Chain A
Amino acid sequence: MTAVLRANAGLVVVGLIGVALMIVLPLALDLFELLQITLYAVFAILALSLAFIWGYGGILCFGHSAFFGLGAYAYAVAVINIGESTAPLLLAMLLPALLAAALGYFMFYARISDIYVGVITLTLTLIFYNCMNSTAGPAYHIGDALLGGFNGMPNIPSLNIPFMPDATLEPLGMFLLCSGLLLIVYFGLHGLLATRFGRVLVAIRENEQRVEFLGYDARLHKLVAFAIGGALAGLAGCLFVAWGNYVSPPVFSVVQSAQIIIWLMVGGSGTLLGPVLGAMAMSWLTVKIGTQQLVNASAILGAVLLVFVLVVPRGVAPMVTERLVPWLLSLRRPAAAPRDIAQEGKA
């Protein structure tokens, strides 16, 4: 037991910090700040969904907001019609997963190159964006849910305790749910990546041809990973709508897709902790610079991204684990043994 804990010390620390924050933050923050942190947790789940398929599976998905937006709209439409959030939440994960699986089947089994996967996914989200923008007017509805076109769908019911439609989650409950789900997704993906499936997925990122030479069906592995990523993005979309009680076509926008990629680039796409920190830090920064009028917010964000691409091309997390920590250890123990590469990147 002790050996297991020691081997996964990084994960244990992350878990303890996560649980501690779940307890402390509601006591330390006011309502507005707690709502903001809740949103950051939702974005962190979204970032993890792309980190899994891009950072670990090597699947270049430039239009990840398609799954995020589909999850958002699926929840919105379903919860308005059903009046209870349990089934809509599941639907918000299932529909994007099915779409990702169908799309993945045609892309991966046709063995199209990475760049075309990027173009196709980007096109998909643009199609969604334009279609949803064109649904203004009373004629466009699914059951009782008016789609609302570019005005979006307001007054979407919040999440409730399963099968208890009257017990809707207050901001504190929503915070605990989103941060709890973030921890579950984070540790769940860690667990998945430690299985044979996860290791083969990483191997596919490294060398798909060799994986095939070893008897694995790389196409099937990529399809399953893509569907899992789609489901997680759909979950984030559902939580996003339940948090704000509103959804509109910009959830499908290129800007939204680009944001997720930026979170990964800043945090480090080849890790799970990096995208979480990247999503939270960049979302916080976006809010902060949005409150000032001195400099254009997009210009500041662009400059930040440029600095990261030039100075820390692999992101913050890999820089800390591969450069900063070994350097600090070497200061303490000049004659230390060579680092154990096999244990790298565990966080």
Chain B
Amino acid sequence: MSPPLIETRALSKHFGGVQAVRGIDFALAEGELRCLIGPNGAGKSTFFKLLTGQIKPTSGVVLFRGVDITSLQAHEIARLGIGIKTQVPSVFNGLTTRQNLWIAAARHAGRKEADAAVEAQVARLGLGRFADRLVGQLAHGQRQWVELAIVLCGKPNLILLDEPAAGMTEEERVRTTEIIHEINRDHPLIVVEHDMSFIRTIARRITVFDRGSILMEGSVDEVFGSQVVRDVYLGKQAAA
């Protein structure tokens, strides 16, 4: 049996006396789309930072396709094909959309191949209208898509999306939902999101974080129907 695409075993992170992540055992299969939910401070963003090597765990391991990547630097983990779209768009504001994408594509391709990869992603995500505009001049939703295109140009084997619909208009959210479904056809995804209505449109399986631990894992119906989850996180929002 092949190992999970990414797996954590007893993963913990302490900041002084604060336990941000406590003994997380998590596994994601090839091709899966998993949503992570949980109240603020539940440890979701810290978990993402541990997966991408931005911070090192206090204890525990991270395995990617069975290989221990816990001690690797962020750029070494990225080279394995783990791409991340951060909560606040992490883009190159002083460069155009095309130039942003080219930097990503050029890491694993020559000049002409990178140019072609950029045009492919511009067409795929519909970025043509602002392809030659400085990214710093774009609207928030457009910057989110540019960042997503940057991640895709990096030819990822796994994509982590941290609140991909945050700050978007309803129209942009609908488009983002389509994009995520389209991307998931050939890329596994882990999505952190607060917006429950958005979660319902994209999720198949959900992991619920609470106080640095995994509270439960299950299908959309199981999670949204769980009284425990309602009590700790969803509350009246789910009941309504």
Contacts and interface: CB of A to CB of B under 8 A. Distances in A.
B90 A209 contact: yes
Contacts of A170: none
B132 A211 contact: no
B94 A213 contact: no
A214 B77 CA distance: 9
Given A213-B84, A340-B132, A341-B96, A199 B103 contact: yes
Contact residues on A (Cβ < 8 Å of other chain), bracket: 20 to 34
A342 B102 CA distance: 12
B90 A207 contact: yes
Given A214-B107, A214-B150, A341-B133, A207 B93 contact: yes
Given A199-B102, A203-B103, A214 B95 contact: no
B91 A215 contact: no
B129 to A, nearest CB: 12
Interface in A205-226: 205-207, 209-218
Contact of A212 (B74, B93, B94, B96): B74
A210 B90 contact: yes
A215 B104 CA distance: 9
A257 to B, nearest CB: 26
Contacts of A200: 103, 106
Contact of B74 (A205, A213, A341): A213
A342 B99 CA distance: 8
A202 interface: yes
Contact of A207 (B91, B106, B108): B91
Contacts of A215: 75-76, 78-79, 107-108, 154
Contact of B92 (A207, A217, A218): A207
Contacts, number: 71
Nearest to A343: B132
A203 to B, nearest CB: 5
Nearest to A340: B132
A215 to B, nearest CB: 4
A216 B108 CA distance: 10
A196 interface: yes
A213 B106 CA distance: 14
A214 B104 contact: yes
A212 B55 CA distance: 13
Interface string B81-94: 00110000011111
Interface in A314-341: 340-341
A207 B93 CA distance: 8
Contacts of A211: 75, 103
B52 interface: yes
Given A212-B74, A213-B74, A206 B93 contact: yes
A210 B99 CA distance: 13
Contacts of B132: 340-342
A202 B78 contact: no
Nearest to A345: B94
Contacts of A214: 75, 78, 103-104, 107, 150, 154
* Residue among A202, A210, A340 having the largest count of chain B Cβ atoms under 10 Å: A210
* Residue among B73, B93, B94, B133 having the largest count of chain A Cβ atoms under 10 Å: B94
A200 B108 CA distance: 13
B99 A199 contact: yes
Interface string B103-137: 11011100100000000000000000000111000
B92 A342 contact: no
B98 interface: yes
A210 B91 contact: yes
A104 B22 CA distance: 37
A202 B95 contact: yes
A202 B52 CA distance: 23
B90 A218 contact: no
Contacts of A202: 92, 94-95
Contacts of A210: 90-92, 150
A214 B104 CA distance: 6
A203 B76 CA distance: 18
Contacts of A207: 90-93
A206 B96 CA distance: 12
Contacts of A196: 106, 111
B106 A199 contact: yes
A236 B107 CA distance: 34
Nearest to B147: A210
B32 to A, nearest CB: 21
Interface of A: 196, 199-200, 202-203, 205-207, 209-218, 340-342
21 contacts: A199-B99, A200-B103, A200-B106, A202-B95, A207-B92, A209-B90, A210-B90, A210-B150, A211-B75, A212-B73, A213-B52, A213-B75, A213-B83, A213-B84, A215-B75, A215-B76, A215-B107, A218-B75, A342-B96, A342-B98, A342-B132
Given A214-B78, A342-B96, 15 more contacts: A196-B106, A196-B111, A199-B103, A203-B95, A203-B103, A209-B54, A212-B73, A212-B74, A213-B75, A213-B83, A214-B154, A215-B79, A215-B154, A217-B75, A341-B134
